[in-house]
Structure 1
C-alpha cells in the first residue's frame, strides 16, 4: 500500500481516483483526531488543539485539515505550471508557521476569489485550534499565516 501523501497545492495532485482519495483523506484525518485525543490528555478539549505531531509537521497537518474539510488544493504540472485553483501551502518566515495562499492558473480568477477562500480556510483551521491571521503582501496579494497556539506550559 502506498504511503498517504498530503496535497499541499505546491506540486502535482497525488495520483488516484477521487473516491479513493476522499477515503484516504478521511482515514488520515480521523487518525489525526485520534492522535489529538491520545496526546492532549490535559486539555479541556483534547480534539480542539494541535497535537505535538502537528506542531512538528505544520504544513502536513494544515494540508490534511483543509483537504478533509473539502477545501480544494491547487496543483502544478510537471513543468511547474499551475493547473488547479485552490490552497497552496509552504513554510512561512517564522519557524512553525504555515503560509496559506489561494492560487490558480492564469485567467482563473483566483486572485478575485482569494479573500473569501482564505476566510473559509481560516475558519476551518480556527475550529481545529490553529491561529490564522490574514496579511497582504506585494501588489495586495492576500495570504494567511497559520500556527498552533503556544504550547501549554510555554513550550511553544
Structure 2
C-alpha cells in the first residue's frame, strides 16, 4: 500500500505489517480492489457476459498489477523482501514477462524455505486462479531448473473493443 492508494502485492515489497488487525484491513482492501476490478469488467464487457471471462482493457494495460491483485484476492501469499532486498517470505512474485502484455509468476522464498519444492503445486494453484479470470498460463522451466508461469490475457471476444 502506498500513500497514493491501494497497491497489489507483487512479491517484491515488504512483508505484511504484523500490527493487530493489519491482516484484516489488508484483506478488506484487497476485496474492495478486486470488486472494483470485476465492476470494470462488467461495465466494459460489450456482451454483458460473465465478468470473469476476459480481462478488461485496464488489466491489459497493467498486467503486473492485475495479476498480482487476482492472486492476492484468491488468497495466495505473496513473497516479500526486507530493506536490503533479501527474500523474507515464501510466495508468488509477479514481474513483467518477456513479451508485451505478459507477466511472469514465480514462487520464491528465503534460502532454506523449501520454495523450490513447493513451486509445482503453488504455481498450479496460481494458474487455476488466473485461468478462472481469463488469463492464459503456460508453465516453463527456467534457469537452475526453477519453474515459472507466463500469463497473458485471453483475447477479447470477437467484436469487442
| TM-score (norm: length of structure 2) | 0.90
**Equivalent residue, structure 1, for 2:36:** 31
1:14 Cα deviation from its structure 2 partner: 5.6
Task: Confirm or deny that 1:41 pairs with 2:46.
Answer: yes
| Structure 1 alignment gaps of length 5 or more | none
CA RMSD of aligned residues (A): 2.0
Q: Confirm or deny: 8 A CA contact 1:101 1:142 kept in the other structure.
A: yes
SS at match of 1:113: helix
Alpha carbons of structure 1 residues 139 and 21: separation in structure 2 relative to 1, 3 Å: same
Matches within 5 A, 1:101-116: 101-116=106-121
| TM-score (norm: length of structure 1) | 0.93
Distance between the aligned counterparts of 1:72 and 1:132, measured in 2? 19
Alpha carbons of structure 1 residues 20 and 153: separation in structure 2 relative to 1, 3 Å: same
**Equivalent residue, structure 2, for 1:123:** 128
1:49 Cα deviation from its structure 2 partner: 1.1
Aligned length: 156
**Equivalent residue, structure 2, for 1:139:** 144
